[in-house]
Amino acid sequence: MEFTTGARLEIRITPADVGKRVSVRRLTDATEKDARFTDAVGVLTSWDAGELRVTRRNGQVVRIPEAAVVAGKVVPAAPARRRGPAATAAELTRVAARGWPPVTAERLGEWTLRASDGFTSRANSVLPLGDPGLPLDAALARVTRWYGERGLPALVQVATGAPGTAEPLAAELDARGWTVQRTALVQVGELAPVADRGGAERVELSRTASAAWFSLYNRAAEPTPAARAVLEGGPSVWFATVPDPDGGPAAIGRCVVDGRWAGFAAVEVAPAHRRRGLATAVMAALAARALAEGASAAYLQVEPDNAPALSLYADLDFTTHHTYHYRHHPTT
């Protein structure tokens, strides 16, 4: 809780605090007998016309009538100390983008429009890393046309939950009716402890993804040209496979090495082979390869409701750095 029960409630924020991380307590409905307190913690992205908007870490925008606010204060922008390798959200976002390159890309100021025949949202969305060079409405109109010409929905990938991320853009898109489609956590960890885990001797590594590898990959069961271009793109890409004696892979994974960073993705285990340590073995083999190429830190993206993956990554000492979500144009 941001406010201790019994403590004096004070409103210690003003419109001048827009852009800062705040905690706001409000009454859900001051006119009802069952009104209760609820807290919203996030970036204060606007305070206009009697309404506050607080953008939470997951990208959700909370609209709060000014009259319902009973307490508010500025809170630290991030935990005082975060486990794992130090990095800014901008650095991680750029590294992750290089590790998952689109088939087609076009610059719009400091935004990048990406398209890959619909293979994954990451490779078919706008990556906004600054000013688009146009007023926002004009930029969004350009985005919508560009994706429409390619038969794709207009998506914008928006990072939140860390200093320097795009909460103001999330709030602007929310105000224009762009809805949240999906959320992911960006996690980081040290690479060496992952490589120290056992089982790597069971894993085969390759520079390309075989048809057998694709057969276990849940985002593209067939190696379409777009899927292969994205997956095999990147600075230094490795694919891991644990063979199944009965045919087909028992487990797979992918890693892209880019300077000090190793990015993990597509770690999958066939249902009949789960709970045998194969996912850990895949990551250990890929981590050892990345260490040999000079990497020292690791990142990955995981959906917040993927409990088995979150458990695996927590066991490997990964922690959440920030989040991102996709905003979907309301009419595409």
What CATH number is associated with residue 49? 2.30.30.520
Q: Do 257 and 166 have their domain in common?
A: no
Q: Which of 149, 178, 207 is the last residue of a domain?
A: 178
| Tally of structural domains, the chain | 3
Enumerate residues 6+ apart whose C-beta is below 8 A from 70.
9, 11, 25, 26, 27, 37
Q: Do 311 and 217 have their domain in common?
A: yes
81 located within any domain: no
Q: Do 212 and 317 have their domain in common?
A: yes
Q: Quote the pLDDT of residue 7.
A: 52
Q: Do 100 and 161 have their domain in common?
A: yes
- Tokens 């996690």 correspond to 187
Q: Do 286 and 229 have their domain in common?
A: yes
276 located within any domain: yes
Q: pLDDT digit string (tens) for 46-71? A: 999 999 999 998 889 999 999 999 99
Q: Which of 178, 213, 241 is the last residue of a domain?
A: 178
Q: pLDDT digit string (tens) for 134-167? A: 999 999 999 999 999 999 999 999 999 988 899 9
Query: If pLDDT is split at 50, 70 and 90, which confidence band does 12 have?
Result: very high
Q: Do 214 and 294 have their domain in common?
A: yes
Q: pTM higher than 0.95 for the full model? A: no
Residue 22, domain extent: 15-74
Query: If pLDDT is split at 50, 70 and 90, which confidence band does 3 have?
Result: very low
79 located within any domain: no
- Mean of the per-residue pLDDT values for the chain? 92
Q: Do 133 and 63 have their domain in common?
A: no
Query: If pLDDT is split at 50, 70 and 90, which confidence band does 8 have?
Result: low
Q: Do 100 and 169 have their domain in common?
A: yes
Which among 246, 287, 247 is positioned nearest to 264, based on CA atoms? 287
331 located within any domain: no
Q: Which of 49-58, 69-78, 209-218, 268-277 has the lowest average pLDDT?
A: 69-78
Q: At what angle do helices 278-292 and 307-315 cross, to 10 degrees?
A: 50
> 3-state DSSP call for residue 282?
helix
The residue-averaged pLDDT of 267-295 equals: 97
What CATH number is associated with residue 262? 3.40.630.30
